[in-house]
Structure 1
Amino acid sequence: MEQQKARKKIIFWLRFSGWFCLIPASAWLLVIQTAKQMGLADYTLWFGIELGIIVLFAVYLLTTANNVRWQQPRNLMLLAIFALIFISLIVFISLCFAYNACCKMNKQPPDR
């Protein structure tokens, strides 16, 4: 019963993180619009690439939230590090909650 509860927490935080990616994605959309208005059209390609990475990450999180792979702390830590580097700090924090629930489910102390 305890393991099922922890698994539901992991799934919740993964889905929450996936939907929370909308915030940095909308921020990048605003940056793209501002860059076009200011005449910096050369940089919109790079901003669009970052926006694409965020959208693909969100789709990946939402489609694989029920996957067994997220029951291993190592996989969640790699996902959180990727989110910290390429997505945003906000998504990273919610993934840390999923990582903590995963460590409790596997009865491992979190890596600190």
Structure 2
Amino acid sequence: MRAQGVSPNYVTLVSVLPAISRLGDMRLGKWIHCHAIRNEIAVDDVLGSALVDMYSKCGDVEAAVILFESLPKKNPVTWSALIGGLALNGRAHDAINHFHMMEKEGGTPPMSCSWAF
């Protein structure tokens, strides 16, 4: 893409991050994050969720937490990216604590259940 003189934009970054996450390519993921910052591409809740997911799946859960905390807006998707990333990296207690923080802040899980156990 860049070889053709086309610079990645917001949509490109959001689109490519899941592939980078699956590959576990932290170097490329950090390049994407730096590209967004250098080019003043807003790291909003959508791009932020994709970055949190990428950092988590590439094994840098601390970077995922720091990025999550810096997001100006959080929604069930951003919370889920962080909670899932914590759990994936063996931090189950932190994942549960963040779930409770999400509830406290008025967020809701992405899916609700209308029946009781």
Into which bin does the TM-score normalised by the smaller protein fall? 0.3 to 0.5
Of structures 1 and 2, the one with the larger relative CO (CA 8 A, separation 6+) is: 1
Scaled by the length of structure 1, what TM-score is found?
Answer: 0.38
Name the structure where helix makes up a greater proportion of residues: 1
Larger Rg: 1 or 2? 1
Scaled by the length of structure 2, what TM-score is found?
Answer: 0.37
